Copies of this chain bind each other. A is one copy, B any other.
Amino acid sequence: MVTIGRRRWAIAEGYLPPGGEDDSYELRSHEAACILNAGDVDARVEITLFFTDREPVGPYVVVVPARRTLHLRFNELREPEPVPVNTPYSSVFESDEPVVVQHTRLDSRQAALALLTTIAYGDD
């Protein structure tokens, strides 16, 4: 199987729009980090969140199994604490195996949805 990716990634932009619980799961506003583990070993990923005016929070720990992808919605993170809405943040991912991280947001605060995406910044 393929080995592709890096062990450290950062997404400088982060923002959970408030509300939107009325929509279906797919069309509800959300911000996601898509994490691909194309290799043959499970990846343990530690996520740390950075804020404007307080100390970082984390690590949030997720496991991406071998040969699987995880489309992680930030608003579903629970431990050590939920991600606050309507608050700018950044995220750093540290994995023990090479992974690829991509940032996506769907914003349905208004009638027409808006989308954004970018491959995260990968470092070694």
Contact = CB atoms under 8 A, between A and B. Distances in A.
- The prevalent SS among residues of A at the interface is strand
Interface string A11-24: 11111010000000
Given A2-B48, A88-B34, A117 B118 contact: yes
Copy tally for this chain in the complex stands at 4
Contacts of A94: 2
Interface in A95-124: 100-105, 107, 109-123
B118 A118 contact: yes
A69 interface: yes
A12 to B, nearest CB: 4
A96 to B, nearest CB: 14
Contact of A111 (B14, B15, B110, B121): B110
Interface of A: 1-2, 4-5, 8, 10-15, 17, 26-27, 32, 34-36, 38, 48, 50-53, 55-56, 67-71, 86, 88-90, 92, 94, 100-105, 107, 109-123
